[in-house]
Chains A and B, each alone.
Chain A
Amino acid sequence: MLEKNKKAVVAVALAALATSAGAQDGPVKVGFAADLTGACAALSEDGLNGAKIAAEEINAVGGILGRQVELIVRDTQTKPDEGAKVARDLITNDRIDVLTGVCSSAVMLAESAVSAELKVPFYAAIGSTQRANIELFQPYFWQVQANATMEAYAAAEYVAKKPEWEKISALGSDYEWGHTSVAAFTERLKELRPDIAFADPIYAKVGETAMAPYITATLAQQPDAVFAPLFGPSLGATLKQGQGFGFFQKTNLVTLMTVDTLQSQGASMPAANVYGIARAPFFALEQSPEVTAFIETYRAAYGEYPTDWAINAYDGLHFYAAVAEKAGTVEAEAIIAALPQVSFDGLREKGLTIRALDGQMNAPVYVGKAAKVEGYDFPILTEVEKFEGAPLMPAEDLILQAREAAR
């Protein structure tokens, strides 16, 4: 305790020094414009919880550059128009130093446009559309988790290692994420396994919960496995309704399976043949002291295990702090300049860096098999394989080509 206090005193003294050296007064303001209500609410809430813990930890050791971190939380209602409005207000009215919090792809791009216009750094820790890295990239943006394309690539790498899977179907939600994920997955898997046959992808209305017709149509293709980038409610409905159609006897499902989905499925999860792609499954991370400490703190604060969204938002804020320390200021241009120079040790991995060309972090992707395990009252992923981020990131020349093509 005394030790901590001493640290705080030193930090305050340092802060005073920094102030006299001409830095700005007051806290470092983090604008958390999150989708706290609407379709993204569950994810965004977890992200906020993770970021809160990160902010407390940063403040406990003296803040960023001696200045306390202040989270300013706003709700975008998962609407791009609200997102742009809230982002603009946070920047012009609250004078935030960095913007984050967003989940939905559309809201993310809306906020990214505001960040570009008003030249304020913006990072994504939940939303992961690769459009923000490629054709709509702007210099003030970065994202701290694998983007949608990288996740689809990881799924392809995983599927490629199953020699018994020879015919693959795709069942996706009918919007940008579903379509681009299926395209990226198919492209990578074709390279890895030219022998695999692909059925025509099937797309379900976003938010559809009557999945029986889609399940029937998918099963009629008699696939060995189904790659399914399905949005929340549709995924849950597929897991429940698929069981009665013998889906998990006849085939295998490969889908995005974050901790919140695992928790909400609970006992309804099929017993076998579900493979999950995850971003930061707490049970599969290397159980370093930092990771166990975070899990304990999170459980103590919120009474549940941290989800992938919480861990990424936590890492995201700590990463920002590290970049600001490196830059010696929170001024936007200096932050952007320092961004690619920082090697960050997060909960997920050590040595995470941002690539300047597209603002993408070399964040890992996890794929494992869903199963019930002693010690947890919800299913988790087992036999988890971790895919390093760097090999999943599209090559730089491909990105330049894609940008050229979009013009």
Chain B
Amino acid sequence: MTAQDLRTLWARVARATVSWQFVVPALAAVLAINWMASTSTSTMMTEIMIMALFASSLNLLMSFGHMVSFGHAAYFGLGAYGFTLAVVRGGVPPELALAVGPLAAALGGLVFGALCVRLTQIYFAMLTLACAQITYTVLFQWYAFTGGDTGITGFMIPRFGLSEKGYATAVLVVVTLCLLALWGIVKSPLGLSIRAVGQDRYRAEALGLGARRVQLVAFVIAAFFAGVAGTLYSVLHGAAFPDYAGLGITLDGLIMVVIGGLNSFAGGIWGAIIYEVLATFVSKVIHEWELVLGLILLAICLVAPAGFAGVSARLRAMLGGIF
């Protein structure tokens, strides 16, 4: 990407129709809660924001590209390990290593994506799963380099020594910028191409779009932002574990997108908020969290298949005159 590209991209992001009347109060609210609430709330908000970015990056593939990835955690894990290993094995100063995480994830996305986009639908999903499992296994078994299943801890002061509140603010800034960039991409001609290919690849190809190339670009972008999320997560805990690239995180992401609402940009964000808040509070009360989650998912699929975003859109339509 040249500087010219970056400038045009930024111009597009700036011009993209962001409903600022919603975003600005939301940001202000997050900041206000962060300053007033307890440290544990700040930590929870930090996790929510990180997962919102991760889910949104997956959502770019799912909602707009109609590519269901069963292995998106691979890029979260690559982000975390890219950062951690650059510090531990590469001797890179942690501040610089922050850039290595997302780049490692994007590179992983480029390699795996190039293979995966050759396939469609369920076979695409299966190949993403295979790629993620291979990544997970390498992280799990390569003791000499990755530390194996017991991961890497104690290599840095978590959050660069920032307080929980301070780090929450930093994450808020990074995540907001990333989400704006994602939004800009969705609204850009590239975003249109991604959507076109997602909806009908043959028609898009007939229009002269290189379907696979567009999908690969989307895949790399999604991997990059998942890598940003992974890096931020690794800094939060000052740790990296193979589980970061495991099936659990992939499923978390998928579930967030579905709860939040497919086919809506905000789906990933709402999904992360609802899922994390529920997971935190329900699991404090009872240990049958999985049962509860299963019932919620069942209910969503049967009653509100468009997820939270769909419900809120319907409500807004119903109450149209008032708001």
Check: A338 CB closer than 8 A to any chain B CB: no
Contacts A36-B287, A88-B40; A113 near B238 (Cβ below 8 A):
yes
Contacts A85-B47, A105-B149, A113-B153; A92 near B283 (Cβ below 8 A):
no
Contacts A36-B287, A89-B44, A89-B280; A117 near B38 (Cβ below 8 A):
no
Residues of A within 8 A of B40 (CB): 88-89, 92-93
Residues of B within 8 A of A92 (CB): 38-40, 43, 164
Q: Which of B40, B143, B233, B290 has the most CB of A within 10 A?
A: B40
Contacts A92-B38, A92-B164, A176-B149; A113 near B248 (Cβ below 8 A):
no
A108 to B39, CA, bound (A): 23
A199 to B87, CA, bound (A): 38
Smallest Cβ distance from A371 to chain B, in angstroms?
Answer: 34
A179 to B140, CA, bound (A): 13
Quick check: A80 and B243 within 8 Å, CB to CB?
A: yes
Residues of B within 8 A of A80 (CB): 151, 239, 241, 243
A378 to B164, CA, bound (A): 51
Quick check: B143 and A179 within 8 Å, CB to CB?
A: yes
A93 to B40, CA, bound (A): 5
Quick check: B239 and A88 within 8 Å, CB to CB?
A: no
> Looking across the interface, which residue of chain A has its beta carbon closest to that of B276?
A85
Smallest Cβ distance from B309 to chain A, in angstroms?
Answer: 26
Residues of A within 8 A of B164 (CB): 92
Select one of B148, B284, B289 contacting A175, CB under 8 A. Answer: B148
Smallest Cβ distance from A64 to chain B, in angstroms?
Answer: 24
Check: B150 CB closer than 8 A to any chain A CB: yes
Quick check: A129 and B287 within 8 Å, CB to CB?
A: no
Residues of A within 8 A of B44 (CB): 89
Chain B residues numbered 279-323 whose CB sits less than 8 Å from any CB in chain A: 280, 283-284, 287, 289-290
Quick check: B290 and A79 within 8 Å, CB to CB?
A: no
| Count of residues in B whose CB is under 8 Å from the partner chain | 34
Residues of A within 8 A of B153 (CB): 109-110, 112-113, 136
Check: A345 CB closer than 8 A to any chain B CB: no
Summed over the interface, the residue pairs from A and B with CB atoms below 8 Å come to a total of: 86
Residues of A within 8 A of B15 (CB): none
Quick check: A174 and B141 within 8 Å, CB to CB?
A: yes
Quick check: B243 and A79 within 8 Å, CB to CB?
A: yes
Quick check: A88 and B238 within 8 Å, CB to CB?
A: no
> Looking across the interface, which residue of chain A has its beta carbon closest to that of B279?
A82
Quick check: A117 and B149 within 8 Å, CB to CB?
A: no
Quick check: B150 and A131 within 8 Å, CB to CB?
A: yes
Quick check: A79 and B237 within 8 Å, CB to CB?
A: no
A103 to B304, CA, bound (A): 39
Q: Which of A79, A81, A179 has the most CB of B within 10 A?
A: A81
Quick check: B290 and A110 within 8 Å, CB to CB?
A: no
Select one of A84, A138, A175 contacting B239, CB under 8 A. Answer: A84
Task: Give the 7 A-B residue pairs with the shortest CB-CB distance, closest first.
Answer: A93-B40, A92-B40, A80-B241, A113-B153, A175-B149, A92-B39, A84-B237
Extra 4 A-B pairs, beta carbons < 8 Å, given A80-B243, A106-B243:
A37-B287, A110-B151, A117-B158, A175-B149
Question: What are some 29 contacts across the A-B interface (CB < 8 A)?
Answer: A37-B287, A75-B283, A80-B243, A81-B241, A88-B43, A89-B43, A92-B39, A92-B40, A93-B38, A93-B39, A105-B149, A105-B150, A106-B151, A106-B243, A110-B241, A112-B153, A113-B154, A113-B237, A113-B238, A113-B239, A117-B157, A117-B238, A129-B150, A131-B150, A136-B154, A138-B154, A175-B140, A176-B148, A206-B149
